[in-house]
Amino acid sequence: MRIVIAGAGPAGMVVARTMVERGHDVIVLEKRHVPGGKVSAWQDADGDWIESGLHVFFGAYRNLLAFLERYGLGDTFNWKPAEMIFVSERHGLAPIRFVPWLPTPFNGLAGVFAFKPLSLADKLRMGLGLIRVIFGDQEYVDQQDNETYASWHLRHGMGQRSLDEVMHTMALALNFQRADRVSAKLPLTAMLHFAHEKEAPRMALVKGSPDTNIWRPLIAQIERLGGKVELNARVAAIEYDAETNQVSGFRLDDGRLVTGDVYVSAMPVHNLRKVLSPALREMPYFANLNHLKGSPVITMQLFFDRRIAGVDNLLFSAGTHLSVYADMAIVAPEYHKGERSIMQFVVAPAAELITLPDNELVQFVMGEFVRLHPIAREAKLLKHTIVRIPNSVYQALPGVDKYRPDQATPVRNLFLAGDYTRQPFLASIEGAVISANRCIERITEAQARGDLIIQPQLLAAAD
């Protein structure tokens, strides 16, 4: 069976690596010059790595970790202690540490009760307000989708202070939107995992570039097994035959038609919408995709002549646009630059900032960074890089979850993979891996039912 996959991000690569191992003829088409999608990286003219985002991995990412371990990439990450370090002008560095010798959920509750930016009354209100989630299940969390997290938080007796000091920052780190914008389901899902799984809050970053540590090794494995990953190959249209209710090929922007037996869109949802034929757009299944909008986000790297933050972990800030950041020269050993810093920031919310000229954007970020780390005033800024992403993960707004599609489409040989599709986790690399596994299940089920028509000429070519 020949499988044509559009998109070499995490979901597309998981489908490709798994299916090529099962003996299928796999080709991956990626529009960019690098693989990895939202978790991509490339080198600039100086040889420094630029990343599309600050790629954070959690112990809760069990499907991703199992996938990488299976294919010999389990030693990819530099693991950090289970703690969230918040930075503010008033309190400096203030961690929420998960106490390792306590069982869940008390390991996390103990960390919250030691968190100095909150008063004792705030901590008690927060602990009581989260009891239903801490001792609850995903079914309850799913039922909270029609309300913003901020509304849910206040309705359950938790104060504005804990919302401002903790939860807005958490929502921005998860979805690049504040807690008064995102569905309650989003932060509650994360807290549910933290409350039930001892390893869930552990955080890690790739030891260096995701390109060299994850994607290029996977491509080499795929190609050794006879598959193909073609970069700079943008799918411009999905060719659809309404009479047979089948996709007849992926049309590339260079005019080529790439054909197969099964087609997988592992493209971001906004790119998928662009390539659908009019007949497909009229189907309710695909029309629902219009409800899924991407979150804008900016990734900025500032290269300094000296160490600034000096923390070997992620940093979260409340009340700024620097929702999460890290010194990559410390947290990622392969980026080590002696005593210099490479500060990498997730700048969000970004809707009003993304169109600013580079110099104004750098000035804005520097202004907020210096307020948090005054020592930065004494440092020399050597260079900067900026990556603007108008459509990143889908905006997890209230009421949107019901529009997320199943991986099997109404078209008999077209399937979807991506963190925006129906899966129980967050929009993240773990969600992408889960969606890929579900996509593989749907393909396998369709093949078992006899729904897939294997083209004779493709069979001959495979033989």
**Region label for 245, one of left (φ > 0), alpha (ψ between -120 and 50) or beta (otherwise):** left
- Which of 300, 401, 297, 271 has the alpha carbon at shortest distance from 8? 271
pLDDT (0 to 100) of residue 462: 39
Residue showing tokens 């104060």: 159
Task: Supply 181's token pair.
Answer: 């914008």
Task: Supply 135's token pair.
Answer: 């001792």
**Region label for 168, one of left (φ > 0), alpha (ψ between -120 and 50) or beta (otherwise):** alpha
Written as one letter, the residue type at 7 is G
Residue showing tokens 């990143």: 392
What is the residue-level pLDDT of the chain in tens, covering all 463 positions? 999 999 999 999 999 999 999 999 999 999 999 999 999 999 999 999 999 999 999 999 999 999 999 999 999 999 998 999 999 998 999 999 999 999 999 999 999 999 999 999 999 999 999 999 988 899 999 999 999 999 999 999 999 999 999 999 999 999 999 999 999 999 999 999 999 999 999 999 999 999 999 999 999 999 999 999 999 999 999 999 999 999 999 999 999 999 999 999 999 999 999 999 999 999 999 999 999 999 999 999 999 999 998 899 999 998 999 999 999 999 998 987 678 999 999 999 999 999 999 999 999 999 999 999 999 999 999 999 999 999 999 999 999 999 999 999 999 999 999 999 999 988 999 999 999 999 999 999 999 999 888 776 544 333 3
Please provide residue 75's backbone torsions phi and psi, each rounded to the nearest 5 degrees: -95, 35
Burial 417-427 (b: 16+ CB within 10 A, else e): bbbbbbbebbb
Instruction: Please list the residues that pair with 238 across neighbouring strands.
Output: 250
Task: Supply 84's token pair.
Answer: 């969230």
Question: Angle 111-114-119 (CA atoms, 0-180°, nearest 5)?
Answer: 125
Could you tell me which residues come within 8 angstroms of residue 107 by beta carbon, excluding any fewer than 6 positions away? 82, 98, 99, 100, 101, 198
Ordered alpha helix ranges (H), 357-415: 358-372
* Distance set, CA 363 to CA 205, 300, 359, 382 (Å): 27, 12, 6, 14
Contacts 24+ apart (CB under 8 A), 221-226: 221/17, 221/71, 222/13, 222/16, 222/17, 222/20, 222/26, 222/28, 225/20, 225/21, 226/20, 226/25
- Chain-centroid distance of CA 168 in Å reads 18
Helix H or strand E encompassing 201 = none
Could you tell me which residues come within 8 angstroms of residue 296 by beta carbon, excluding any fewer than 6 positions away? 176, 348, 349, 350, 351, 354, 388, 389, 390, 391, 392
Question: Angle 6-11-17 (CA atoms, 0-180°, nearest 5)?
Answer: 85
Tell me if residue 193 falls in helix, strand or coil.
helix
Instruction: Please list the residues that pair with 344 across neighbouring strands.
Output: 301, 326
pLDDT (0 to 100) of residue 457: 52
Domains of the chain: 2-40+209-293+396-462 (3.50.50.60), 82-196 (1.10.405), 297-389 (3.90.660.50)
Tell me the angle at which helices 10-21 and 62-70 cross, rounded to the nearest 10 degrees.
40
**In contact, 36 and 455? CB cutoff 8 Å:** no
- Which of 194, 157, 191, 195 has the alpha carbon at shortest distance from 171? 191
**In contact, 302 and 320? CB cutoff 8 Å:** no
- The predicted model scores a pTM of 0.95
| DSSP strand pairing (257-258 vs 235-241) | unpaired
Written as one letter, the residue type at 241 is D
- The Cα–Cα gap between 91 and 79 comes to 26
Report whether the peptide linkage leading into residue 374 is cis, meaning its omega lies within 30 degrees of zero: no
Could you tell me which residues come within 8 angstroms of residue 219 by beta carbon, excluding any fewer than 6 positions away? 8, 13, 35, 229
pLDDT (0 to 100) of residue 453: 81
